[in-house]
Structures are given as structure tokens and as C-alpha cells.
């Protein structure tokens, strides 16, 4: 035996490639993905599989690196794997990963949210933005004793039955703005109107005002690309709600703590009755929250008759990550840096697209390039985009080492880890259009 020489051939299996992983995923995961927009259906081709991420860079299993403008769909506000978050999660994990019992981080996060978002007097944690929205809708119905809700076309609020009607995000990308499996009797309790169309909203209130429990919206819709509320529009919505006794819910799962410490409601000076949050307060880990006026929140069990629960709500790892990220943003005034970087990207993009039939929108560190020259005010305008042209640009950017969301109908995100040079590189593929 001692005379045998070691084999020249390795018996170790070859490292998986994105292509091989994709084929394996297709056999065991519906559509090969655990969230529809990841499937590249809107742009064609096969998705790649990420192996690691650091700062503003992601690396796939094939070794290719990309400057990332998806940022886990928003929460990577400091970039991927910031040291303060890694340290917080590591230290917290030493003491346990889940308790199902109150822990101090829940209290600290609640106090932090109430301090930074003035409209929130009390808050409850959930495990996702979808859970937060679902719970806020139930609470609004329980508080008002009404059943009808009003939402806006193209605003996506998670896969909640009542709200997956004329939705955005992945549902829109796949050409299925509604979903099978939702009872028609439930869908009839949801009224939808175009965003930035005050007359349409007034009409709904005139006809159904006494039935409306709440109006829910993204104050800055970011699931059909990104478009902005027209001057006075949010104020008019709030006025209608107050006149008819309906609650106003701001879905700030994307905009909360990203556009400003107090989210979009701070920027626009609006005080909603309830707010849903997520993304940033988890620092990349699953989390959500909803909060608002104390008299409304006190209708939740165990104080009131509206039931909501979750074994993993207030998970210590997620809250440790979120608190570390928010503290770092406050310490460094990260929002000023994000605004500066956003302005630099806007200048670079507008220079590259001058004279081309494209429309660019930005607010803070969120942006969207529409492949249409028409002004984009709402979902109907966004759907006029040339999605085939977007797909060509997506793949051209990918070849340049730039990763945007694989859909015309998604927003892009800048982090504090991006540099001015990264932002300039993001416009390289535009020059060939």
C-alpha cells in the first residue's frame, strides 16, 4: 500500500455553475425561483446565482463580478455585508437566534422607529413587509368597522389577497397583475384607482365613502418602476380620508429609512394614520413592522379585538442587524451621502440619454430609467415603455459588469458603498443606445 502513488485525478465534485444550478432549481422549485421577478422572464435568458456580496459588488458562482443596483431590493443601504451589521449579528447569535419570548432588541427597535418616524406612536414587528401590510389592513378594518379598501394601480404591497389586484413588481413583470386563488368576493372589496388621478379617487369616495376602511399607497410608487406624486396629491388623499373617516396607510417598506430618517412622509410632510415598514430595519435579514397612532394600535391583541401574531416576530438577529444599520446611518449622516450620490448618478444618466426617447426618475437613492419618452405619472404611462429595448439594455449592462433589476418595472437602489466611479460605469451601456 505504501508504494501506491496518489491519483492525479480529483474525486471532488466540480463547483456548481449558474447554468447547472438553474437546471437543478427548475426541477425542484416552481419556475426555478423563490420570487417571480428573479426568473429573468422580463428580459430573457437564465438568472445567475450569487456566491457572495460585499459593498456594492456581487459575485456569482462562476466568478463574475457585478456592481449591484438592486441591493436586495432596497435594504442594503450601507451596501452588502457592512462590518457593523456583521459584527452585530455575530455577537447576537452567540446568545441565541430565536426565543419566541420578549427580548430587549424589540424594545430598542420600537423606540428607534417611534423616534425617527413621528407619525408612529406604537409599532409591532413582523417578519416581512407582506405580513406588515396584511396586519395593517386587518387593523384598519377592525378599527373602523368597515370592509372596503382602496389601492392604486401599480402599487405592490406584497402578496396579500386583498391587495394583489392591479399590482406591480413581479406580478406586473410577468404580465399577470392579478392572481389566481383570490376569491372574487374578496377582490370586490378592493377598489383601485390610477395614481396621480385625484378625480378618480374622489369618485370612489363619493360612491363608497361610508364603506371605506382605508386607503393604502406607496407615497412614492416603486413597484412599477418609480414615479412621483404630483404637488398636492398626497395632501388631497389625506383630506379625503379625514372627511370620510377612512384611515390613510403609507406603505414605506421601500422608502422608509431610505429616502430620509422619517421616510417619504418626512419629505412630503404628510402624517398617515398607519405606516408599514421593512427592508432597511432588518439590515438584510427578514423583517417588517407596522405602526401608527396609539389609539389605533391599541386595537391589537392582547389589548383589543384585532388578532395578529408571529413566533419569529422581533427576531433578535434581524433587529440587531437593523439597529446596527440605522445607528451607522445616523452616525455618518448617510442620507446626505445618498442624496449626493443620487444627484451624481442623475447627472451622469441625463447626460448619456440626452436626445434619446428615454425618461429618468430619481428621488434620493432610488431611480428608474423608463424606455419611453412620454411623461410617466402612473402605471398606464409606465406600461408604454419599450420592454424589449429595456431587455437589450439590461443584458448590455450585464456584459459591462452592471446589475440592474431584471424588469422595466422595478426601481434601482444606490448604497453608501457605491462610488462616483461606480455610478459613471452604470451609464456605459446607455451610450450604445
Q: What order of strands is seen across the sheet that includes strand 65-68?
A: 50-54, 57-60, 65-68, 402-403
CB distance 325 to 142 below 8 Å: no
The H or E element that residue 152 is part of is strand 148-152
Beta-strand relationship, 359-363 and 366-370: antiparallel
Answer whether the bond into residue 302 is a cis peptide, omega within 30°. Answer: yes
CA triple 397-343-404, angle to 5 deg: 20
Q: Which of 66, 122, 166, 251 is catalytic?
A: 251
Q: Is 58 helix (H, G, I), strand (E, B) or coil?
A: strand
249 Cβ contact partners less than 8 Å away, ≥ 6 residues apart: 136, 137, 140, 214, 215, 216, 217, 272, 273, 274, 275, 276
Cα torsion 290, 135, 102, 305 to 10°: value is 120
Task: Return the H-helix or E-strand segment holding 192.
Answer: strand 190-193
Q: Could you tell me the strand order of the sheet in which 247-251 lies? A: 122-126, 288-292, 274-278, 247-251, 212-217, 148-152, 190-193
Per-residue burial over 107-128, b = 16 or more CB atoms within 10 Å of its CB, e = otherwise: eebbebbbebbebbebbbbbbb
Grid cell digits, residue 59: 459575485
All three cell numbers of 23? 437546471
Task: Burial-class residue 50 by CB neighbours within 10 Å (0-12, 13-18, 19+).
Answer: middle
Q: Which of 60, 122, 151, 156 is catalytic?
A: 156
Active site residue 151: no
> Kind of pairing, strands 212-217 and 65-68?
unpaired
156 is catalytic: yes
Residue 149 in grid coordinates = 379598501
**C-alpha–C-alpha distance, residues 89 and 91, integer Å:** 6
Please tell me the distance from the alpha carbon of residue 288 to that of residue 313, in angstroms, as a whole number.
8
Take residue 30 and report the three cell numbers written for it.
Answer: 416552481
Q: Is 422 a residue of the active site?
A: no
Which of 122, 151, 166, 279 is catalytic? The answer is 279
CB 363 within 8 A of CB 226: yes
Active site residues: 156, 251, 279
Amino acid at each position: 500500500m505504501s508504494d501506491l502513488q496518489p491519483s492525479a485525478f480529483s474525486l471532488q465534485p466540480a463547483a456548481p455553475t449558474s447554468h447547472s444550478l438553474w437546471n437543478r432549481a427548475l426541477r425542484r422549485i416552481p419556475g426555478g425561483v423563490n420570487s417571480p421577478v428573479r426568473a429573468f422572464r422580463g428580459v430573457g435568458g437564465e438568472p445567475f446565482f450569487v456566491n457572495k456580496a460585499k459593498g456594492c459588488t456581487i459575485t456569482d458562482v462562476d466568478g463574475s463580478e457585478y456592481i449591484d443596483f438592486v441591493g436586495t431590493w432596497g435594504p442594503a443601504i450601507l451596501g452588502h455585508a457592512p462590518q457593523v451589521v456583521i459584527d452585530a449579528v455575530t455577537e447576537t447569535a452567540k446568545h441565541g437566534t430565536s426565543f419566541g419570548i420578549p427580548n430587549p432588541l424589540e424594545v430598542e427597535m420600537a423606540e428607534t422607529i417611534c423616534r425617527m418616524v413621528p407619525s408612529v406612536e406604537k409599532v409591532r414587528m413582523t417578519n416581512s413587509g407582506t405580513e406588515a401590510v396584511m396586519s395593517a389592513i386587518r387593523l384598519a378594518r377592525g378599527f373602523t368597522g368597515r370592509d372596503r379598501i382602496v389601492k392604486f394601480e401599480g402599487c405592490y404591497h406584497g402578496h396579500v389577497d386583498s391587495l394583489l389586484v392591479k399590482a406591480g413588481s413581479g406580478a406586473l413583470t410577468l404580465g399577470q397583475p392579478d392572481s389566481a386563488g383570490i376569491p372574487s368576493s374578496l377582490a370586490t372589496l378592493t377598489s383601485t384607482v390610477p395614481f396621480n388621478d385625484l378625480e378618480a379617487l374622489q369618485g370612489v369616495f363619493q360612491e363608497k365613502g361610508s364603506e371605506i376602511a382605508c386607503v393604502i399607497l406607496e407615497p412614492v410608487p416603486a413597484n412599477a418602476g418609480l414615479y412621483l406624486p404630483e404637488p398636492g396629491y398626497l395632501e388631497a388623499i389625506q383630506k379625503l380620508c379625514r372627511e370620510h373617516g377612512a384611515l390613510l396607510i403609507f406603505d414605506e417598506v421601500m422608502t422608509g429609512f431610505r429616502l430620509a430618517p422619517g421616510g417619504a412622509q418626512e419629505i412630503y410632510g404628510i402624517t398617515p394614520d398607519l405606516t408599514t415598514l421593512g427592508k432597511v430595519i432588518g439590515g438584510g435579514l427578514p423583517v417588517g413592522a407596522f405602526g401608527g397612532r396609539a389609539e389605533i394600535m391599541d386595537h391589537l391583541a392582547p389589548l383589543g379585538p384585532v388578532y395578529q401574531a408571529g413566533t419569529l416576530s422581533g427576531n433578535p438577529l434581524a433587529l440587531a442587524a437593523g439597529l446596527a444599520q440605522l445607528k451607522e446611518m445616523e452616525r455618518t449622516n448617510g442620507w446626505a451621502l445618498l442624496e449626493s450620490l443620487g444627484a451624481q448618478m442623475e447627472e451622469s444618466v441625463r447626460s448619456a440619454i440626452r436626445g434619446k426617447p428615454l425618461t429618468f426618475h430619481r428621488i434620493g437613492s432610488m431611480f428608474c430609467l423608463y424606455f419611453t419618452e412620454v411623461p410617466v405619472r402612473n402605471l398606464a404611462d409606465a406600461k408604454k415603455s419599450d420592454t424589449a429595448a429595456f431587455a437589450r439594455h439590461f443584458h448590455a449592462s450585464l456584459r459591462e459588469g452592471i446589475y440592474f433589476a431584471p424588469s422595466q418595472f422595478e426601481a434601482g437602489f444606490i448604497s453608501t458603498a457605491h462610488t462616483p466611479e461606480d455610478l459613471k460605469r452604470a451609464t456605459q451601456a446607455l451610450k450604445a443606445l
